[in-house]
Amino acid sequence: MGVFTHWVIFNIPANLRELPEGVPKEGEVEGIGVQGKNDFNKLGYGGPCPPRGPAHRYVFKLYALDTTLSLEPGASKTQVLRAMEGHVLGYGKLTGKYGRS
């Protein structure tokens, strides 16, 4: 079915070491960052809910940038990726599998 984006969040403070549970589904969350729209067409994190059958892959990507992005809350993943061009200092990726039987 292709790629489904569960969360878009940017301008995470460089000193933040973890994200708390239950980040409010608001555009701007003080001390956490700015949230864009996911593929549910909503702000915030939309957790996995795969259909029954084989496990699905879930990929979390985190980018270190040399700038703060000048985007409004509700920006799309495409808008964020475009704004990041030329500003990526490094990145990390975590891949996990989740399924229901």
Amino acid at 97: K
The confidence score (pLDDT) of residue 1 equals: 59
Q: Which phi-psi region, left, alpha or beta, contains residue 32 (left: φ > 0; alpha: ψ -120 to 50)? A: alpha
How would you class 41 by CB atoms within 10 Å of its CB: exposed for 0-12, middle for 13-18, buried for 19 or more? exposed
State pTM to two decimals. Answer: 0.90
Q: What is the mean pLDDT of residues 40-59?
A: 91
Q: What is the mean pLDDT of residues 78-94?
A: 98
Q: What is the pLDDT of residues 2-46, one digit of tens each?
A: 789 999 999 999 999 999 999 999 999 999 999 999 999 999 999
What the chain holds in terms of domains, given with CATH numbers, is 9-98 (3.90.280.10)
